[in-house]
């Protein structure tokens, strides 16, 4: 009987968590160079009804892959903070911030460092998502956690960039798993 009551209490708590999440205001902020991460961002947007924010760098990277790889390496080595063109309107109103990026040289592109240092993430739920060329997260989640030490960082979603267009079901399963189920 006691065991039964514990199970019932567990499910009531779980439903409470999901309902609580569903009233929250969601932002999906991301950077994408060749479009893979943008696919996931749009997918999350479709499934949650959150607001999209794309980080567009003021000094665009070369469209040539090798050149871009060099530029990204240089930015990482110099610990650069590249600027982006637009502002998030009323960041303080968001409870949940999805943060998306491609794995670049084993971590987030440096513009993500700019973003996470610029906005106050204290008290927010932060959820990373990443596309990659097989290096998965690299050390990006550790780096992200260091930049938002007073946030609740939930389990993220990482996918090989070549699968980004076909990951709708996986995104859906992941969102359900972490209790983000709402749609405006």
Ligand X SMILES: Cc1cc2nc3c(=O)[nH]c(=O)nc-3n(C[C@H](O)[C@H](O)[C@H](O)COP(=O)(O)O)c2cc1C
Residue 79 φ/ψ region, left for φ over 0, alpha for ψ in the -120 to 50 degree band, beta for the rest:
left
**Residue from 52, 69, 153, 154 in contact with ligand X (CB under 6 A):** 69
Q: Which is nearer to ligand X, 74 or 152 (CB)?
A: 74
CA 65 to chain centre: 23
Query: Closest by alpha carbon to 100, among 127, 65, 119?
Result: 127
43 lies in the binding site for ligand X (CB under 6 A): no
CB 130 within 8 A of CB 158: yes
Q: What beta strand segments (E) does 8-47 contain?
A: 26-30
Residue 134-163 contact track with ligand X, rule CB under 6 A, x = bound: xx--x----------------------x--
The smaller minimum CB distance to ligand X, of residues 22 and 76, is found at: 76
Closest-CB residue for ligand X? 161
What residue ranges bind ligand X (CB under 6 A)? 32-37, 68-69, 72, 102-106, 131-135, 138, 161
């Amino acid at each position: 009987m006691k065991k039964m009551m514990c199970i019932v209490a567990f499910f009531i708590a779980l439903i409470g968590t999901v309902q609580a999440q569903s009233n929250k205001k969601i932002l999906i902020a991301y950077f994408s160079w060749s479009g893979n991460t943008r696919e996931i961002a749009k997918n999350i947007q479709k499934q949650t009804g959150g607001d999209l924010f794309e980080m567009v760098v003021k000094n665009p990277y070369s469209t040539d892959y090798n050149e871009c790889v060099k530029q990204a390496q240089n930015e990482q080595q110099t610990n650069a903070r590249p600027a982006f063109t637009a502002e998030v309107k009323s960041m303080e109103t968001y409870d949940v911030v999805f943060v998306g990026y491609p794995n670049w040289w084993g971590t987030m592109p440096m513009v993500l460092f700019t973003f996470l240092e610029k906005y106050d993430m204290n008290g927010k739920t932060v959820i990373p998502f990443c596309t990659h060329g097989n290096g998965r997260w690299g050390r990006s989640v550790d780096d992200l956690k260091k930049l938002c030490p007073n946030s609740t960082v939930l389990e993220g979603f990482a996918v090989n960039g070549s699968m980004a267009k076909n990951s709708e079901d996986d995104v859906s399963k992941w969102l359900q798993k972490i209790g983000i189920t709402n749609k405006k």
